[in-house]
Amino acid sequence: MDFILNEEQTLLRDMAARFAADARARQEKTPEAPDRRWSRFAELGLLGLTLSEAHGGLGGGGVETMIVAEEMGRQLLTDPFVPTVAVAGPLIAALGEATQQAQLLPALAAGDLVVVPAFLEPEARYDLAQVATTARAEGERVVISGRKAVVLNAPEADLLLVSARASGAHGDPEGLCLYLVPTRTPGVVLRAITTLDGRPAAELTLNAVTVEATARLGPAGAALPAMEQAVDRGVAALTGEAVGAMAALFDLTAEYLRTRKQFGAPIGKFQALQHKLVDMKVALELARSVAAAAAMAVDVADAEVRRRFIAAAKVQVARSGRFIGQAAIQLHGAMGMTDEYGAGRYLKRLVVIGALHGDLAHHLERFAASTEPAGPRH
């Protein structure tokens, strides 16, 4: 493993850092409409980050995605970067037919098309195969019915990537299909919700939603492995986002310890707090490192290797995130409890990331069920 960013990656990081800081400053002054914000991402090429040059992209992979996600986390941006750029784009590129790719990917890169995955269902927790949503063929058309849970950024999406069952029993890994469903299709009902960390999301009901058979993405009945890989990409990006949030919160806390005075001294003079802050630093650096490894692992062909690193990163980030988030509030005293001060916003982001795309328990189980691959260590 090589943890050192190359020259382009360093430039990307610097650019993304400036971009995200500007975006936050602008958002705090005069909030812009979501599509205006989104087109700024496009202008810098950030939306084509993971797409091929042929489709207007930059040809980046997991590492590039992580770099941008980290800066978004640092500034607590709420735009659909992870669902669209980390998950949906690469999935369309991997599964789509040439015409689908040509139609969708340049538009995605240009910021004209926001695509978000809608995989999980109300009773499914984090299992991608627990799909009760059905897809029934009707001539040249397909009728989709079912419900999807907590679809992040759905209110801003133009197109939903919906998993549905064409055959097989509930929970069966076989029999799943992916469909591209425009949000404005009759029968698509969004119940808008706000997430704990202030992002738009929705509960999704599909009431006999009819799409052309050509709206299917990838092979019939065999979508699960690609969905899993796409979610792995999402997880890797989220761990990067979490690292950004943790790093910002760590800095905020360290600065507070330097400046807040009690008993005639900066509270950073108290050893109890110094040690707590150091433990936060340890948690941050562990998370940052394993998240970087996960970002590199995203593009590894061996699914088992990938799974181990992705799962390990999600577990580490969940634990580091809780620890850093909670310790930060504690070290700020009552100030940490206020909405205005802002430490809580990072904790909320970290809690939400912990519950997205598989929580600690889910990834712990995936990791425990995986086997350490033979051969050279990565």
Partner 1 sequence: MKFAFSPELEAFRQDVRRFVADTLSPATRAKVDEGRRLVKSDYVDWYRILHAKGWITPGWPVEHGGTDWSPLERYIFEEETALGGAPPVTGGINMIGPVLIAFGTPEQKAAYLPAMRRGDLWWAQGFSEPGAGSDLASLATRAVLDGDHYVVNGTKIWQTQAAYADMMFALVRTRFEGKPQEGITLLLLDMNSPGLSIQPIRTIDGGQELYQCFFDNVRVPVENRVGADGKGWTYAKYLLGFERHGIAGIGHAKRQMARIKRVAAAEHDRGTRLIDLPRWRDRIALLEIELMALECLSLRLIQESEAKGAGAGPGVEASILKIRGTELRQDMFELLTELTGPYGIPFDEEVMRDGWGNGAPVGPAHAATIASNYLDSRKISIYGGANEIQRNVLAKAILGV
Amino acid at 280: M
Question: Rounded distance, CA 65 to CA 69, Å?
Answer: 6
Q: Nearest Cα to 136, choosing from 184, 185, 100, 179?
A: 179
| Selected range binding partner 1 among 20-28, 46-54, 159-167, 265-273, rule: CB under 8 A | 265-273
Residue nearest to ligand FAD (CB): 333
Do residues 9 and 67 touch, judged by C-beta distance below 8 A? yes
Which positions from 330 to 369 touch ligand FAD by CB under 6 A, shown as an x/- string? Answer: xx-xx--x--------------------------------
Q: 93, 55 in Cβ contact below 8 A?
A: yes
Selected from 9, 52, 210, 326, the binder of partner 1 by CB under 8 A is 326
Least distance from C-beta 260 to ligand FAD, angstroms? 5
**32 interface partner picked from partner 1, ligand FAD, none, CB below 5 to 8 A per type:** none
Amino acid at 133: T
Quote the DSSP letter at residue 269: G
Q: Which 276-335 positions form the footprint of ligand FAD (CB under 6 A)? A: 330-331, 333-334
Can you read off the two tokens belonging to residue 299? 């593009």
Site string for partner 1, 179-218 (x = CB under 8 A): ------------x-xxxx----x-x---------------
Residue 275, Cβ neighbours under 10 Å: how many? 10
Amino acid at 197: D
Question: Which string of b and e fits 31-58 if b means at least 16 CB within 10 Å?
Answer: eeebeebbebbbeebbbbbbbeeebbbb
How many CB atoms within 10 Å of residue 291? 32
The site map against ligand FAD for 234-263 (x = CB under 6 A) is --------------------------x-xx
Structure tokens at 332: 């700020």
Binding-site member from 4, 33, 98, 272 for partner 1 (CB under 8 A): 272
Q: Which residue shows structure tokens 């620890």?
A: 323
Instruction: Give me the residues that bind ligand FAD (CB under 6 A), please.
Output: 260, 262-263, 267, 270, 272-273, 330-331, 333-334, 337
Instruction: Give me the residues that bind partner 1 (CB under 8 A), please.
Output: 120, 122-123, 125-127, 130, 149-150, 171, 191, 193-196, 201, 203, 261-264, 270, 272-273, 322, 326, 329-330, 333-334, 336-340, 343-345, 347-348, 351-352, 354-356, 359-361, 364-365
